[in-house]
Structure 1
Amino acid sequence: MELQQMRYVVEVAETNSFTRAAERCRVVQSALSHQIARLERELGAKLFERTSRRVRLTPAGAAFLPAARQCLDAADRAAAEVAAAVGEVRGRLAVGLIPTVAAVDIPGALRDFRQRYPAVRISLRVGASENLVEQVKQGAIEVAFLGLPTTARPEGVAAHELGRDRLVAVVAQDHPLAAEPAVTLRRLATEVFVDLPAGTAGRIQSDLAFSAAGLSRDVAFEVTTADYIARLVAPGLAVAMLPSAYVPQLTGASVTTIEVTDAPARVEHVAWSRVNLTPAGKAFLGILGIPTTGSAVETG
């Protein structure tokens, strides 16, 4: 069993096509098909069902795929560790972030990182804080930028607090509240809201604030990105609550922000795994001036 054979299997599984997989691997299709057939003979099981219209994993293929990915990740990690030992940082850097990250200039940090470590391939994944923490634990991403209520901390990972912020109300420019200098949660509770999906950390901080005040609200719209929250607020479909430090990033959105006198706060963290942190991940945290030993806190 060879690593290249595993790469071929992963590519076919991801593209559902031997042709596209061969193109991505930069080999002729016959060579890719031959190597997968050779691997299937060695394993004694078919990994793919092939028809004239589609390619899909067999149960044996579905069982093989996660282990194949782990082997490839381990091989890449081994190569990166050797390179780091001789002073070169390469490999991959997968960064996860919430849609409203504001405590760090991510594009600026990535620019500085790329200038210093051009051999590293970078991927960005946007998601909810709790999902990003799980991906850090699993080794799918090296570094994650999170936003959590003040009562919560990332669990099971190393973490460093980046900053604290309060939520502000975001309304359409012609909304009756737009001229107010400040507003209370009780007044906002009479409005229709757009917010992140129920159960996500970004949503929970607002839900807890209204609940603690003995209030309920109507969240008629749920979206997964803060930019789209603003797009629903601008025409007056709903109001929202977003971190004050993030709102200036809503370029082009015709919205107005209002202070909320009893607004909830949130804490932004950066999280990583002390066990699986790659040289590229450590270097990226170094660009940000974040220690990975000593003052870093491991939670959970």
Structure 2
Amino acid sequence: MDLQQMRYVLAVAETENFTRAAERCHVVQSALSHQVARLEKELGARLFERTSRKVRLTAAGEAFLPAARQALEAAERAKAEVAAATGEIRGKLAIGSIPTVAAVDLPAVLRRYRLRYPQVGISLRVGSSEQLVEQVRDGALDVAFLGVPPGFRPQGVRERELAHGQHVAVVAPDHPLATETEVDLSRLVEETFVDFAEGSAARAQSDEAFAAAGLRREVAFEVSGVDFMGRMVRHGLGIALLPSTFAAELPGVRAVPVTNGPVRVERLVWSRFTPSPAAAAFLALLDTDTRPPAE
């Protein structure tokens, strides 16, 4: 069994097709098929069910795949560690972020990182804070930028606070509140809201602020994207509560400060295990100490 055979199996599993897998791996199909067959013979079990229309993993293939992925990741990590020992940062860096991150200029940071470490392959995934924490904990992401209520503490990862930020009321230009210099939550309860999904960290910031003030509001529209939220506000379908730094960048709306509005904490999270050289270099760029906390 060798790493190349594992790469072939992974490619077939992900494409569900030997021809596409061979194209991805830059080999002829006959060579890839031969190596997969050799591996199956060595393991004493078929990894794939082959039909004229589709290729599917068998139960043995399902069992083989997680360990194969770990072996390939370990091999890549070993190569990156050796390169780092000689002064070169290589490997892969997987970053997660909420769409409204404001504590750092993420595109600018990524540009600096790429210029400094051109041998590192970077991927960026946007999602909710809850999803991102889980993916960092599971090793799918190296680091992630979150936006959460003050009391939210991510479990199973290391983290540091980046910034506190106040939410503002985001309204259409012709909305009666658009000319106000400041509003109170009690003035907003009669409004129709556009917000994130109930139960999400992004939604909890606003829900907790209204609950603390003893107020109830109506959320008529639940959306997952901030751009779509801004479009709905511009068309007068409702108002929204968003971080002030981010709301200022939305076109065609007005941002009104809220005296007792929601507070959002932006946090940076990373694995509780020793980061890869590529991840450690990224965290260092953000002036983050990756040493384990003292016992």
Q: Quick check: TM above 0.5? A: yes
Shift of 1:224: 1.9
CA contact (8 A) 2:168 2:257 kept: yes
Shift of 1:48: 2.1
TM-score after normalising by structure 2: 0.94
SS state at 1:150 partner: coil
Shift of 1:248: 2.8
**What CA distance in whole angstroms lies between the structure 1 residues aligned with 2:205 and 2:88?**
42
Shift of 1:231: 1.9
Letter in structure 2 aligned against 1:292:
T
- Equivalent residues in 2 for 1:27-106 (5 A)? 27-106=27-106
Shift of 1:43: 2.1
TM-score after normalising by structure 1: 0.93
CA contact (8 A) 2:166 2:263 kept: yes
Structure 1 residues 16, 167: closer, same or farther in 2, change over 3 A?
same
**What CA distance in whole angstroms lies between the structure 1 residues aligned with 2:59 and 2:182?**
58
**What CA distance in whole angstroms lies between the structure 2 residues aligned with 1:22 and 1:77?**
24
Q: List per-residue Cα deviations over 1:120-171 (Å, max 9, x = no partner).
A: 0000011111221121122111111111111122222221211110111111
- Equivalent residues in 2 for 1:70-149 (5 A)? 70-149=70-149
CA contact (8 A) 1:48 1:56 kept: yes
Equivalent residue number for residue 180 of structure 2: 180
- What stretches of structure 1 move > 4 A for 4+ residues in a row? none
SS state at 2:219 partner: strand
Question: Is structure 2 residue 161 aligned with structure 1 residue 161?
Answer: yes
Q: 260-269 vs 46-55, which deviates more?
A: 46-55
SS state at 2:186 partner: helix
Shift of 1:218: 2.1
SS state at 1:177 partner: helix
CA contact (8 A) 1:169 1:241 kept: yes
Shift of 1:297: 9.5
Equivalent residue number for residue 264 of structure 1: 262
Letter in structure 2 aligned against 1:268:
E
Equivalent residue number for residue 16 of structure 1: 16
Q: 77-86 vs 54-63, which deviates more?
A: 54-63
Alignment match of 2:277 (pick from 271, 276, 279):
279
CA contact (8 A) 1:148 1:202 kept: yes
**What CA distance in whole angstroms lies between the structure 1 residues aligned with 2:229 and 2:198?**
14
**What CA distance in whole angstroms lies between the structure 2 residues aligned with 1:237 and 1:101?**
25
SS state at 2:209 partner: helix
Q: List per-residue Cα deviations over 1:206-257 (Å, max 9, x = no partner).
A: 111112222222222222222221122111122111111112333xx21111
Structure 1 residues 237, 138: closer, same or farther in 2, change over 3 A?
same
**What CA distance in whole angstroms lies between the structure 1 residues aligned with 2:198 and 2:66?**
30
CA contact (8 A) 2:156 2:272 kept: no
**What CA distance in whole angstroms lies between the structure 1 residues aligned with 2:232 and 2:5?**
48
- How well do the aligned residues superpose, as a CA RMSD in angstroms? 1.8
Structure 1 residues 237, 45: closer, same or farther in 2, change over 3 A?
farther
Equivalent residue number for residue 293 of structure 1: 291
Q: List per-residue Cα deviations over 1:92-116 (Å, max 9, x = no partner).
A: 0000111110001111111111111
**What CA distance in whole angstroms lies between the structure 1 residues aligned with 2:220 and 2:294?**
38
**What CA distance in whole angstroms lies between the structure 1 residues aligned with 2:14 and 2:294?**
37
- Between the two proteins, the alignment pairs up a number of residues equal to 295
Shift of 1:258: 0.9
Structure 1 residues 297, 95: closer, same or farther in 2, change over 3 A?
farther
SS state at 2:245 partner: coil
CA contact (8 A) 2:184 2:258 kept: yes
SS state at 2:178 partner: coil
Equivalent residue number for residue 220 of structure 1: 220
**What CA distance in whole angstroms lies between the structure 1 residues aligned with 2:249 and 2:110?**
17
CA contact (8 A) 1:191 1:218 kept: yes
Letter in structure 2 aligned against 1:27:
V
Structure 1: runs of 5+ lacking an equivalent: none
**What CA distance in whole angstroms lies between the structure 2 residues aligned with 1:271 and 1:223?**
25
Equivalent residue number for residue 192 of structure 1: 192
Structure 2: runs of 5+ lacking an equivalent: none
| Identity level (%) | 62
